């Protein structure tokens, strides 16, 4: 099969590279000439483990190429995937479909043969019908089908998720489109991975419902963690006890400073907006959005308590700023709420993150970037663990504490216990939903 992938952001690039590894001929399109030049040099504009190696392998094999010209990409293509951004629209919470519709119109005007246009971007229910109408208006003589194929990739584990998915969701309107999609995903069909074939609207809804549910699990355990702090329970033990129930499951029950990233914040807002537009309020989702914002602000209060009520003139070392480990993604990361509050309060903040600096320098003005946790913590009044990178899981806490001015630890990812902190020499310790030092 020949596939054109419109958009070389996170979803488009990972999908295009993986499809080419299936054996398909893939042409990735982007209007950003800087991105295309980087990719043609074999450089990946995002951080995703294993992606650069897989990209080079398939470029060398002649199955993967890059262009700015959409007409070149779709020439002879069996399917064209739309994988452009759908950011939250300012003012109303809707997903901004400007880029999706622009891509649909360009595809229609450039195509001269039957194609299946597949929406890979996360879009509200009814968007694929709008894509169909937009294309029909732009080129009434074009023979085409529209399909929905939402992505379920976890940043940091995207290649494995694509190659060994929990499921693939495909929404189609015709048998012909279904056959094309079946051929595209043939390597997964042959290995018996679940393929859910449904209508367009159900496929669109599955994506939003899944992300909203996962965001709800995270927010629920964060609320439980707050209660654990009041009653003296340990949320790690509570999560373990809950997760052993097969009806609940252990994933997404790790208490922390709130969810962020490219999906959960915008998708929960979009689902809430869809509900409002159809006079069916998504009350649980709306509560999740509100509580998640409160969780991030509660982290500021927690760190303020560790700083004796004031950040002014405190030196604070922060380990991790990306919204999760194994990515360089800073979108809606808790750090974007917590660190500005500390800087605004007069703190001198040093930051360490294996991949966060590229985006973080512009997003976190007023901080000092370090590459070594021990250097960042030297003479600090407070150490904060904000992202659970593996590099931060086996620190020599005693060495760090000995080098600090006032050894205090705010572990917002529950990596270390109170016992670990006390033995290392920290005079104060606070985590999420776990007992601290006795008063």
> For residue 437, which of 414, 419, 416 has the smallest C-alpha distance?
419
SS3 state at 150: coil
Q: Alpha carbon 429 to chain centroid distance? A: 29
Q: What share of the chain is helix, strand, coil (3-state, %, to 5)?
A: 45, 15, 40
Cβ count within 10 A of residue 396: 11
The answer to whether residues 377 and 383 touch, using CB atoms and an 8 Å cutoff, is: yes
Measured CA to CA in angstroms, residue 352 lies from 159, 357, 373, 403, 420 at distances of 26, 8, 6, 16, 21
Q: Please say whether the dihedral angle defined by the alpha carbons of residues 104, 106, 109 and 114, taken in this order, is positive or negative.
A: negative
Q: How many CA atoms lie within 13 A of 93 on its CB side?
A: 16
Sheet holding 2-6, edge to edge: 64-67, 25-29, 2-6, 79-82, 115-119, 144-148, 168-171, 195-198
Cα distance between residue 432 and residue 225, in whole Å = 6
Residue with tokens 């016992």: 419
Contacts of 273 (CB under 8 A, 6+ apart): 92, 93, 94, 95, 124
Beta bridge partners of 89: none
Contacts of 53 (CB under 8 A, 6+ apart): none
The answer to whether residues 323 and 359 touch, using CB atoms and an 8 Å cutoff, is: no
Active site residue ranges: 263
Residue with tokens 């976890």: 154
SS3 state at 344: helix
Contacts of 400 (CB under 8 A, 6+ apart): 373, 374, 377, 383, 407, 424
The answer to whether residues 288 and 212 touch, using CB atoms and an 8 Å cutoff, is: yes
Radius of gyration of the chain (CA): 24
> For residue 133, which of 121, 124, 142 has the smallest C-alpha distance?
142
């Amino acid at each position: 099969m020949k596939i054109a992938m419109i958009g070389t952001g996170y979803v488009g690039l990972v999908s295009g590279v993986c499809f080419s590894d299936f054996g398909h001929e893939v042409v990735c399109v982007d209007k950003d000439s800087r991105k295309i030049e980087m990719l043609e040099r074999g450089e990946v504009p995002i951080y995703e483990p294993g992606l650069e190696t897989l990209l080079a392998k398939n470029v060398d094999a002649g199955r993967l190429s890059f262009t700015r010209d959409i007409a070149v990409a779709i020439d002879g293509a069996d399917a064209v995937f739309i994988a452009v951004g759908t950011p939250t629209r300012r003012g109303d919470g809707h997903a901004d479909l400007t880029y999706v519709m622009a891509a649909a119109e360009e595809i229609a005007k450039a195509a001269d043969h039957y194609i299946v246009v597949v929406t890979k971007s996360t879009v509200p229910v009814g968007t694929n019908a709008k894509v169909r109408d937009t294309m029909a208006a732009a080129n009434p003589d074009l023979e085409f089908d529209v399909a929905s194929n939402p992505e379920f990739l976890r940043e940091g584990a995207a290649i494995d998720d694509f190659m060994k998915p929990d499921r693939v969701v495909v929404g189609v309107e015709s048998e012909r489109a279904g056959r094309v999609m079946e051929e595209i995903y043939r390597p997964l069909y042959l290995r018996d991975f679940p393929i859910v074939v449904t209508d367009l609207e159900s496929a669109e809804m599955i994506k939003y419902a899944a992300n909203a549910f996962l965001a709800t699990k995270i927010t629920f355990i964060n609320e439980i963690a707050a209660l654990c702090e009041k009653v003296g329970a340990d949320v790690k033990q509570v999560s373990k006890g809950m997760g052993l129930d097969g009806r609940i499951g252990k994933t997404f029950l790790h208490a922390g400073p709130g969810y962020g990233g490219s999906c959960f914040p915008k998708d929960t807002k979009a689902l809430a907006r869809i509900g409002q537009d159809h006079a069916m309020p998504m009350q649980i989702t709306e509560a999740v959005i509100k509580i998640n914002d409160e969780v991030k602000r509660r982290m500021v209060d927690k760190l303020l308590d560790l700083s004796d009520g004031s950040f002014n003139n405190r030196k604070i070392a922060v380990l991790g700023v990306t919204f999760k480990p194994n990515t360089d993604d800073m979108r809606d990361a808790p750090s974007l709420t917590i660190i500005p509050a500390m800087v605004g309060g007069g703190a001198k903040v040093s930051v360490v993150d294996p991949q966060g600096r590229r985006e973080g320098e512009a997003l976190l003005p007023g901080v000092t970037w370090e590459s070594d946790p021990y250097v960042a913590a030297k003479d600090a009044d407070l150490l904060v663990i904000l992202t659970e990178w593996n590099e931060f899981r086996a620190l020599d806490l005693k060495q760090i504490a000995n080098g600090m001015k006032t050894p205090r630890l705010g572990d917002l990812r529950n990596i270390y216990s109170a016992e670990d902190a006390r033995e290392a020499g920290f005079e104060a310790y606070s985590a999420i939903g776990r007992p601290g030092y006795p008063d």
